[in-house]
Amino acid sequence: MQLQEILYGVTIIKLVGSTNRETSALTFDSRQVIPESAFFAVTGTVSDGHKYIEQTIAAGARIVICEVMPEVLNEQVTYIQVENTSVALGIMAANFYGNPSAELKLIGVTGTNGKTTIATLLFKLFRELGYHVGLISTVENQINETVIPATHTTPNPLALNQLLRQMVQAGCVYAFMEVSSHAVVQHRIEGIHFVGGVFSNITHDHLDFHKTFDNYIKAKRAFFDALPKTAFALTNGDDKNGMVMLQNTKASKKSYALKQLADFKARIIENKFSGLNLDIDDTDVFFKLVGSFNAYNLLAVYGTAMLLGEDKLTVLTILSNLTGAEGRFDYVSNAQEIIGIVDYAHTPDAVQNVLSTIQNIRKGTEQVITVIGCGGDRDKTKRPVMAQVACDWSDKVILTSDNPRTEDPQAILNDMEAGVSPTNKRKTLSILDRKEAIRTACHLARKGDIILVAGKGHEKYQEINGVRFHFDDKEILMEQLNSIS
Ligand SMILES: CC(=O)N[C@H]1[C@@H](OP(=O)(O)OP(=O)(O)OC[C@H]2O[C@@H](n3ccc(=O)[nH]c3=O)[C@H](O)[C@@H]2O)O[C@H](CO)[C@@H](O)[C@@H]1O[C@H](C)C(=O)N[C@@H](C)C(=O)N[C@H](CCC(=O)O)C(=O)O
Ligand SMILES: Nc1ncnc2c1ncn2[C@@H]1O[C@H](COP(=O)(O)OP(=O)(O)OP(=O)(O)O)[C@@H](O)[C@H]1O
Ligand SMILES: N[C@H](CCC[C@H](N)C(=O)O)C(=O)O
Ligand SMILES: [Mg+2]
């Protein structure tokens, strides 16, 4: 493709060389440069792409997009200086793939917890309604029945636009995608056209990256700020910051809530292990999803479907038969009627929601045993809080490892232990090996007890020092539960 064509919409500070040249590919990673490609020098959190410019030219790059011009310029190369390379990358990636998002009805879902659940339910619902549909989510990406593995919640602009183009080619009418706060700040969704945005909630997470809660709110709000007038912005009216999210948006403002006045309303009639009985806009429906937090997710999905013009009763009928996303309140039980639950709760709020749901729906005097760890190279301040919440809402807690990544697992465990109060210490054990921790929980459990294994949900690996080892909470839990006689 001609460079001129993909530059549309980019604000250039300085241009050196011709824009009248072919581009074979775009890349922001020097290790992936091919001859005649364009290299985007991005300033990252660990490294700086500007350091690799010369190396990429030696490898054949003929277009360089950068924030700082190199001191020595190569005559064979076109240099484009911009204020922010990531913004240019977003816009040019969209142009390179022919702006696929404009050919789809694309809905973005943002918030601390519930994005995967809402996006996945929307995907399943619209598939059942008979549409060709795409999904971009933490667990996996999907184009109709074709599954494409996901590396990030929101892919980088190149992967994102390529995926959206594939969706258009497959005839998709709708696409539902998660929009993470990292993606907003790193401009991964620059140049993407949304017809709607959905907000789930905002609580403590990712403060390692955003530094303050205020910045984190601003990152989420920026997604709604950028929506066009023709789009809808659907928010959670019960969330403290639900209305703040829509403050600056030009989109049509809509809300859903259980407590406040809202465009879409629901009331919990009953919350049981077998599912949720809700009154949604005066219709009584039983859903297979468990827990009051899922009442919000279901309401967000229902509201979105209504805003997209679908029929209320058809939508509620299909929704009542759907199960949630993999690794979210996934439960199994054994011959001794010990219940094991695997859940992706990896924030204090999510842990509290899952445990309070378990407490609300448990039958009697059974114990709740929680196995929980925290990820390395992520927000350290949530560690003691997650341990504290787990202790406050469980009878026994086994603190363990999650994905240590490049951190010392013992140091992460120490950070968690700092959140355990002296009175809670007696109900807590620390077992570094996650498999051993799950095994111990199963051996401590008696008939009717409930074991929650939190934090890794659908993940099929444990990441230690850059290596991903096969690890599946549900597989281990089932194996251990079945081995108890
Ligand atoms: C903190 C973060 O988001 N990091 C992302 C970011 O990496 P970075 O800024 O650290 O990049 P860097 O290593 O400093 O490198 C800077 C630039 O130099 C380039 N480079 C680097 C080395 C080299 O030899 N050659 C070269 O060209 C890199 O390609 C990059 O363009 O840009 C990379 C390329 O797009 C991402 O892969 C990487 O995601 C990392 C793996 C990650 O773990 N991200 C997580 C935190 C994340 O994004 N999570 C959210 C979900 C969060 C949630 O809501 O729960 C997600 O959307 O998945
Ligand atoms: N609406 C909600 N409110 C609070 N907690 C929720 C809600 N929905 C789900 N959860 C909890 O959060 C966990 C993660 O849910 P989900 O995967 O849907 O969120 P997410 O926003 O996609 O997370 P991530 O940012 O990691 O991709 C669930 O396993 C559950 O414990
Ligand atoms: N999307 C989240 C996933 C956290 C999952 C948890 N298992 C961990 O490794 O911390 C993140 O990147 O922070
Ligand atoms: Mg997700």
Q: Which two tokens stand for residue 124?
A: 């399943």
pLDDT of the residue at 89:
98
In a shared domain, residues 259 and 160: yes
CB atoms within 10 A of CB 447: 10
Angstrom distance (rounded) from CA 3 to CA 272: 58
In a shared domain, residues 74 and 149: no
Ligand located closest to 120 CA? 2
Final residue of a domain: which of 260, 287, 320?
320
Q: What is the CATH number of the domain that holds 403?
A: 3.90.190.20
Q: What are phi and psi of 293, to 5 degrees?
A: -65, -30
Please state the rounded mean pLDDT for residues 143-162.
Answer: 97
- Binding positions for meso-2,6-diaminopimelate are 378, 402-405, 455, 459
pLDDT of the residue at 485:
64
Would 383 be classed as within a structural domain? Answer: yes
pLDDT of the residue at 179:
98
Final residue of a domain: which of 45, 70, 96?
96
Contact 371, 453 (CB under 8 A): yes
Please state the rounded mean pLDDT for residues 358-372.
Answer: 89
pLDDT of the residue at 246:
97
Contact 451, 336 (CB under 8 A): no
Q: What is the CATH number of the domain that holds 178?
A: 3.40.1190.10
Would 325 be classed as within a structural domain? Answer: no
Q: How far apart are the first and last CA of the chain?
A: 65
In a shared domain, residues 102 and 196: yes
Say if residue 363's pLDDT is above 80: no
Q: What angle is formed at CA 479 by the lines to CA 478 and CA 480, rounded to 5 degrees?
A: 90
Q: How far is the CA of 350 from the centre of ligand 2 (A)?
A: 6
Confidence of residue 334 (pLDDT cuts 50, 70, 90): confident
Say if residue 171's pLDDT is above 90: yes
Best mutation site among 28, 47, 162 for ligand 1 pocket (most ligand atoms within 8 Å of CB): 47
In a shared domain, residues 352 and 438: yes
pLDDT of the residue at 161:
98
Confidence of residue 204 (pLDDT cuts 50, 70, 90): confident
Would 355 be classed as within a structural domain? Answer: yes
Q: What is the CATH number of the domain that holds 84?
A: 3.40.1390.10
Q: Which two tokens stand for residue 420?
A: 């355990």
In a shared domain, residues 270 and 149: yes
Q: Sheet with 26-27: list strands edge to edge.
A: 14-16, 78-81, 63-66, 38-40, 26-27
Say if residue 282's pLDDT is above 80: yes
Q: What angle is formed at CA 329 by the lines to CA 367 and CA 179, rounded to 5 degrees?
A: 140
Final residue of a domain: which of 96, 117, 150?
96
Say if residue 260's pLDDT is above 90: yes
Angstrom distance (rounded) from CA 331 to CA 478: 10
Please state the rounded mean pLDDT for residues 328-347.
Answer: 92
Summarize the chain as % helix, strand, coil (round to 5): 35, 25, 40
Angstrom distance (rounded) from CA 346 to CA 354: 11
Say if residue 118's pLDDT is above 80: yes
- Residue count of the chain, please give it: 485
CA-nearest of 258, 254, 256, 261 to 269 is 258
> Is 210's C-beta closer than 6 angstroms to any atom of ligand 3?
no
Q: How far is the CA of 111 from the centre of ligand 2 (A)?
A: 9
Give the number of C-alpha atoms closer than 13 A to the C-alpha of residue 61, restricted to the C-beta side: 25
Q: What percent of the chain has pLDDT above 70? A: 100
List b or e across 83-95, with b for residues whose CB sees 16 or more CB atoms inside 10 angstroms.
Answer: eebbbbbbbbbbb
Q: Which two tokens stand for residue 6?
A: 């993909």
Q: How far is the CA of 82 from the centre of ligand 1 (A)?
A: 20
What is the number of structural domains in the chain? 3
For 378-431, the pLDDT digits (tens) are 999 999 999 999 999 999 999 999 999 999 999 999 999 999 999 999 999 999
Q: How far is the CA of 114 from the centre of ligand 2 (A)?
A: 4
Q: Which atom from ligand 2 is nearest to the alpha carbon of 354?
A: 31
Q: Give the list of residues 6+ apart from residue 215 with CB closer than 8 angstroms, or none.
A: none
Say if residue 454's pLDDT is above 90: yes
In a shared domain, residues 115 and 72: no
Q: Which two tokens stand for residue 297?
A: 């997710």
For 374-391, the pLDDT digits (tens) are 999 999 999 999 999 999
Q: What is the mean pLDDT of the chain?
A: 96
Residue nearest to ligand 3 atom 12, measured at CA: 378
Say if residue 351's pLDDT is above 90: yes
Would 463 be classed as within a structural domain? Answer: yes
Say if residue 450's pLDDT is above 70: yes
CA-nearest of 350, 378, 381, 364 to 452 is 350
In a shared domain, residues 223 and 301: yes
> Is 153's C-beta closer than 6 angstroms to any atom of ligand 1?
yes
Would 138 be classed as within a structural domain? Answer: yes
In a shared domain, residues 291 and 301: yes
pLDDT of the residue at 484:
81
pLDDT of the residue at 169:
98
Q: Which two tokens stand for residue 232?
A: 């809808």
In a shared domain, residues 92 and 180: no
> Is 357's C-beta closer than 6 angstroms to any atom of ligand 2?
no
In a shared domain, residues 12 and 63: yes
For 20-37, the pLDDT digits (tens) are 999 999 999 999 999 999
Contact 96, 23 (CB under 8 A): yes
Would 170 be classed as within a structural domain? Answer: yes
Instruction: State the amino acid at position 101 in one-letter form.
Output: S
Please state the rounded mean pLDDT for residues 121-130.
Answer: 98
Would 461 be classed as within a structural domain? Answer: yes
Contact 136, 150 (CB under 8 A): yes
Domain residues for 187? 98-320
For 339-348, the pLDDT digits (tens) are 999 999 999 9
Question: Which residue stretches of 148-261 are H helix?
Answer: 157-169, 181-185, 207-210, 213-225, 242-245
Residue nearest to ligand 3 atom 11, measured at CA: 378
In a shared domain, residues 249 and 379: no
Q: What is the ipTM of this complex?
A: 0.95
- Sign of torsion over alpha carbons 187, 111, 412, 460: negative
> Is 345's C-beta closer than 6 angstroms to any atom of ligand 2?
yes
> Is 472's C-beta closer than 6 angstroms to any atom of ligand 1?
no
> Is 378's C-beta closer than 6 angstroms to any atom of ligand 3?
yes
- Binding positions are 30, 111-117, 153-154, 180, 186, 188, 378, 402-405, 455, 459
Residue nearest to ligand 3 atom 1, measured at CA: 153
In a shared domain, residues 397 and 339: yes
pLDDT of the residue at 366:
86
Confidence of residue 6 (pLDDT cuts 50, 70, 90): very high
Q: Which residue has the tokens 């406050």?
A: 392
pLDDT of the residue at 438:
98
CA-nearest of 102, 101, 105, 103 to 308 is 105
pLDDT of the residue at 272:
87
3-class SS at 398?
strand
Would 57 be classed as within a structural domain? Answer: yes
Burial class (CB in 10 A: 0-12, 13-18, 19+), 71: exposed
